[in-house]
Amino acid sequence: MSDDKKSGKRSSFFGSVKQKLIDDLVSAAERNKNEKGETDAEKLRQDQIAILANADAQAESVAEIVSDLKTDIDALHKFADGGARTLNELLVSADPVQFNTFADLDARFGALPNGFTYRYLVPPTYVREESAVNFANNVVRLPSAFNLVIDGHFELFGDEIPEDSLSDWLKHQPTELNRLWSMRVLSLFGILKKSELPASTLRRGIVPAVGKPRPAARAAVAASNIPEAAEQVQSFADAAILQYDGEVVDHDTDAKGGVLSKRVDFENLMKIGPHACLALASLLDHPDIGVRVSAATYLLPTAQNLAFPILQESAASWPDNNGDRVQRAAYHAQQAIWMYEDGNLKLPGASPT
């Protein structure tokens, strides 16, 4: 028995590659035997040469991947150690210098550091050509690993996102809103200083919470006594848990399914009557942060005094309280506040106040 099996460790990647090579060589020996069991030495030699040549090519490819990965990790750590940056520190240039390709930026402003990549604040789309966005003050330099994480974030669904994913929604929004949301997401990940974000001017009247929010039960007692409402509220809570479980383990189907299920549950509450929606307030004391944020998001347009303190507290909970679930809830809570401030929090059957 091998040491790995004795210790219960999984086989390493390189160990698996080595074993595959051994298996291929053994198979070659078997393939090159005649009916009498005799080996054709010349055919075997040619077969083994081909196998070893392929192994060499794979080894070079693996070595290159490992080297690139180490470079990306080193760049990420070095960047993260420097803390959040100002926008000008991230931008290729604060001046609107036009370019045709990223290679032009290398030539004008210096090559990217190892492990870094370029990222648009306002990306080109089918309605926005590259010529309209190819300016140095619309491009930031980021570690490649961070860039991939941010790409993934823009593809997420959420109660606060009006349609599909954040990326899909932004494709139909004005240039300035795209730029603002890129900056917002960079701030969520601690890349951009929050002080760099421009204040929203459209939505007014949100008063910062002081102390603990009003007990949710006071607003939810009457609605919670409606049996049909109670059933929908439980279904809503289950869907919120499904969404956050999915996000934590990168299971997109569960994450999106939870979001869509909550929309259906809220529509069913609306069918009972607008007052039934207040039954969601009973979830503002739920032990799961994802359930609390979900309920608060849906209550924000109509019960701001109950919902906003929950969202504010959740948005500030990470990184003080560590954990993937807390982090995801913090992101969704902050995004819900921003959507509401902008007048873009579009929920089924709910009209913003």
* pLDDT tens-digit map of 83-130: 999 999 999 999 999 999 999 999 999 999 998 999 999 999 877 888
Instruction: Decide if pLDDT at 288 tops 90.
Output: yes
Is the same domain home to 98 and 190? yes
Both tokens of residue 242?
């499904």
Is the same domain home to 61 and 102? no
The answer to whether position 253 is within a domain reads: yes
Residue 10: per-residue pLDDT: 43
Instruction: Decide if pLDDT at 275 tops 70.
Output: yes
The last residue of a domain, from among 38, 55, 81: 81
Q: How many domains are there within the chain?
A: 3
Is the same domain home to 338 and 273? yes
**pLDDT tens, residue by residue, 131-174:** 899 999 999 999 988 898 899 999 999 999 987 899 999 998 99
Residue 204: per-residue pLDDT: 46
The answer to whether position 210 is within a domain reads: no
Type of residue numbered 39: T
- Which domain CATH number covers 301? 1.25.40.70
Spatial distance between the Cα atoms of 136 and 214, rounded to a whole number of angstroms: 48
Question: What is the rounded average pLDDT for all residues in the chain?
Answer: 83
Q: Provide the 8-state DSSP code for 117.
A: E
Which of 87, 86, 94, 150 shows the shortest CA–CA distance to 117? Answer: 150
Is the same domain home to 223 and 331? yes
The predicted model scores a pTM of 0.76
Both tokens of residue 200?
């929203």
Instruction: Decide if pLDDT at 213 tops 60.
Output: no
Which has the minimum average pLDDT: 7-11, 16-20, 24-28?
A: 7-11
Is the same domain home to 227 and 336? yes
Instruction: Decide if pLDDT at 256 tops 90.
Output: yes
The answer to whether position 205 is within a domain reads: no
The last residue of a domain, from among 66, 81, 96: 81
Is the same domain home to 259 and 157? no
Residue 4: per-residue pLDDT: 47
The answer to whether position 348 is within a domain reads: no
The answer to whether position 202 is within a domain reads: no
Q: Which residue segment(s) compose the domain that 62 sits in?
A: 13-81
* Dihedral pair phi/psi, residue 141, rounded to 5°: -100, 125
Task: Give residue 19's pLDDT band: very low, low, confident or very high (50, 70, 90).
Answer: low
Instruction: Decide if pLDDT at 68 tops 70.
Output: no
* Dihedral pair phi/psi, residue 140, rounded to 5°: -115, 160
122 contacts 139 by C-beta, under 8 angstroms: no
The answer to whether position 146 is within a domain reads: yes
Is the same domain home to 50 and 97? no
Residue 6: per-residue pLDDT: 46
The last residue of a domain, from among 23, 58, 81: 81
Is the same domain home to 73 and 176? no
Using CA atoms, how far residue 180 sits from 119, 166, 177, 194, 199, in Å, is 14, 13, 5, 12, 10
Which of 284, 305, 308, 313 shows the shortest CA–CA distance to 217? Answer: 284
Spatial distance between the Cα atoms of 135 and 145, rounded to a whole number of angstroms: 23
Give the ranges where the chain is alpha helix by DSSP (H).
3-7, 13-31, 41-81, 87-90, 102-109, 130-133, 144-154, 166-170, 175-188, 216-224, 227-248, 252-272, 289-299, 304-315, 324-342
Which of 146, 205, 138, 148 shows the shortest CA–CA distance to 176? Answer: 138
Residue 30: per-residue pLDDT: 66
Is the same domain home to 141 and 155? yes
The answer to whether position 211 is within a domain reads: no
**pLDDT tens, residue by residue, 292-327:** 999 999 999 989 999 999 999 999 998 777 789 999
Is the same domain home to 179 and 229? no
Which residue is it, tokens 């570690």?
Answer: 143
Spatial distance between the Cα atoms of 238 and 261, rounded to a whole number of angstroms: 9
Side-chain-side CA neighbours of 58 within 13 Å: the count stands at 13
Is the same domain home to 160 and 101? yes
Using CA atoms, how far residue 343 sits from 110, 301, 334, in Å, is 41, 10, 14
Residue 319: per-residue pLDDT: 77
Burial pattern 125-162, b for ≥16 Cβ within 10 A else e, equals eeeeeeeebbbbbbbbbbbbbbbeebeebbebbbbbbe
